[in-house]
Amino acid sequence: MPAVDPTYPFYPIACILAAAMLLLVLLSGFIRQSWNLGVAFLSFWLFLENIAGGVDAVIWDDNADTKLYVYCDIVSHLGIIAFVVKPMATLIITRRLYLITSLQSVELPDATAKRRDLTIEWTLGLVIPLLVAGPLYYVVQLLRFQVVEGSGCTNAQDGSILDILLVQSWALIPPLLSISVYYRALGLLQ
C-alpha cells in the first residue's frame, strides 16, 4: 500500500534534520553561558516535537492502526506542551529584551531580582505548559489520543468553549501580554 504523503521520506528526514540542528543550538555556548531560558525552552520542546514528528511519520506512514499506546499518550501531551511553550518562549524572550533595553546594565541589580526573574521564567516556560498539558487538558480531552494516517498520534480535544478557554487561549494570552505590557512600556520609555 502506498504512503499517504507522496513525498513520504522527505518529511521524516526534515524532522530529524531540524531536531539535529535544534540540538546543536541547545549544545552551543550561547544558551548555556547566559542562561537564555526563552531560547532554551523553545529549542528543547521543538527538538522533542520534531523527533516525535519524524518517528510518527515513519511508524504511521501507510496505516492508522492504534499501537504503541504509551508512546501516543506521551506524544499527545508533548504536542500540547509544545503548543503552549511556543508563545510562552516568545513572551520570555520579549521580557528579557525589555529588561535589557530598560536597564542601564545587562546584569540584574541584586540576587533577589535574579531569583525573581528566574522564578518568573521557569514558571512561564515549564510550570504553565505542564499544567495546561496535564490537568487542564485532561478536563477537555475527548479521547486519550487519535491516530491519523500519515501523521501519527495527535491529541483529541472536544472543541468546546471550555477547551478554548483552558487550552487554546494559551496561543493568544502570551503574545497579547507581550504586546500590551512590554511593547507599550518600551514606547513610553522613548
Residue 31 structural domain: 10-189
Domain membership of residue 2 (yes or no) is no
Domain membership of residue 4 (yes or no) is no
In terms of Cα–Cα distance, which of 142, 99, 145, 146 is closest to 120? 99
For the chain, helix, strand, coil in percent to 5 are 75, 5, 25
State pLDDT tens for residues 69-111. Answer: 999 999 999 999 999 999 999 999 988 888 877 775 656 678 8
Domain membership of residue 3 (yes or no) is no
Domain membership of residue 174 (yes or no) is yes
Number of domains in the chain: 1
pLDDT at 26: 87
Show the CA angle centred on residue 13, arms to residues 7 and 17, nearest 5°. 145
State pLDDT tens for residues 132-184. Answer: 999 999 999 888 899 888 888 999 888 899 999 999 999 999 999 988 887 77
pTM for the model: 0.87
